[in-house]
């Protein structure tokens, strides 16, 4: 959980500086910053713009992406597309959240699930593809199953605690759709890359809950020993969850250079996304 007074931008800054140091890239060398978040510091300017200034990367493109728990993979897809199109050479991709600030602590069906956190990666143009493919999808028809009921345009509930900001979720229905949808995107992702399930070395999933993670691992035929699980320690950190799990996989030495990683996420919207990466 973020400390009192600590913002999404603060967490993003910590993650970004570590990622830049690990990549040996200076902030001034960035062409773009893409930040996935549902809990920005301000309505505007974007948290990516605030982060850009703190890093000293003034002048590069900077934007937030709101795709709920799929936010980091959406941001990764955007950054990858800009590099592949030649519009950028180096892109900082961040997923950061302070979800505990928007929880109803009297609702035990949601408040025990979520946490705060951030992670980041640096993308750079290269001769050999690191990101083999990304897939991004959404279906707003499921909005009513997982959402925040208030906002600037729709209005706030000033007579309610936190002005009505909270997470509303029909958990059992979200689970059913998530399992089926992630099963489809796994197949779609592998087909796009011309690969078979047996060629995936590691599954690095969004850390929503263990049952969804286990269902995706079963679809791939992967033992849980080849799946990165952090939900028991971090909770569901939304956009922060996939990069946090990726960071743990790398720092622990589990993931080795040349291995193939499947990243996937599912979130409010509904949104869902994946990335197949050769590390």
Catalytic pick among 49, 66, 206, 234: 206
Task: Quick: pLDDT tens for 89-132.
Answer: 999 999 999 999 999 888 888 888 999 999 999 999 998 889 99
- What's the pTM value of the predicted model, to 2 decimals? 0.97
Predicted local distance difference test score (pLDDT) of residue 11: 99
Q: Average the pLDDT over 30-36 and give the result.
A: 99
- Is residue 248 within 8 A of residue 231, CB to CB? The reply is no
All CATH 3.40.47.10 domain ranges of the chain, comma separated, are 8-127, 133-278
**Cα dihedral: 186, 192, 197, 200 (round 10):** -90
Predicted local distance difference test score (pLDDT) of residue 12: 99
Catalytic pick among 60, 80, 137, 236: 236
Q: Is 206 a catalytic residue?
A: yes
133-278: which CATH topology? Peroxisomal Thiolase; Chain A, domain 1 (3.40.47)
Task: Quick: pLDDT tens for 56-82.
Answer: 999 999 999 999 999 999 999 999 999
Q: Is 236 a catalytic residue?
A: yes
Give the integer Cα–Cα distance in Å for 174 and 268.
Answer: 9
Residue 86 neighbours by CB distance under 10 Å: 8
Q: Average the pLDDT over 24-53 and give the result.
A: 98
Which helix or strand (DSSP H or E) is residue 133 part of? Answer: strand 131-138
Q: Is 18 a catalytic residue?
A: no
- The CATH superfamily holding the domain 8-127 is Thiolase/Chalcone synthase (3.40.47.10)
Catalytic pick among 69, 80, 137, 234: 69
């Amino acid at each position: 959980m973020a400390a009192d007074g600590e913002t999404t931008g603060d967490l993003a800054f910590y993650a970004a500086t570590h990622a830049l140091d690990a990549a040996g890239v200076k902030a001034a060398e960035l062409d773009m910053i893409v930040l996935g978040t549902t809990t920005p510091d301000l309505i505007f300017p974007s948290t990516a713009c605030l982060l850009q200034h703190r890093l000293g990367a003034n002048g590069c493109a900077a934007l937030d992406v709101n795709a709920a728990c799929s936010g980091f993979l959406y941001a990764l897809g955007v950054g990858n597309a800009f590099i592949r199109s030649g519009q950028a050479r180096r892109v900082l991709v961040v997923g950061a959240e302070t979800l505990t600030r928007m929880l109803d602590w009297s609702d035990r069906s949601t408040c025990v699930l979520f946490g705060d956190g951030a992670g980041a990666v640096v993308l750079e143009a290269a001769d050999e593809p690191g990101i083999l493919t990304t897939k991004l999808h959404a279906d707003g028809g499921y909005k009513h199953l997982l959402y925040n009921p208030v906002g600037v345009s729709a209005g706030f509930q000033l007579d309610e605690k936190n002005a009505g900001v909270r997470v509303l979720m029909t958990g059992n229905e979200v689970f059913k759709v998530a399992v089926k949808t992630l099963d489809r995107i796994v197949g779609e992702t592998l087909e796009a890359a011309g690969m078979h399930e047996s060629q995936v070395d590691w599954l690095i999933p969004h850390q929503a809950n263990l049952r969804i993670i286990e269902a995706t691992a079963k679809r791939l035929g992967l033992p849980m020993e080849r799946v990165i699980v952090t939900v028991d320690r971090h909770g569901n950190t939304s956009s922060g969850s996939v990069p946090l799990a990726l960071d743990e996989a790398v720092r622990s030495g589990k993931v080795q250079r040349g291995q193939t990683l499947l990243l996937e996420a599912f979130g409010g919207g509904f949104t869902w996304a994946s990335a197949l990466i050769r590390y």
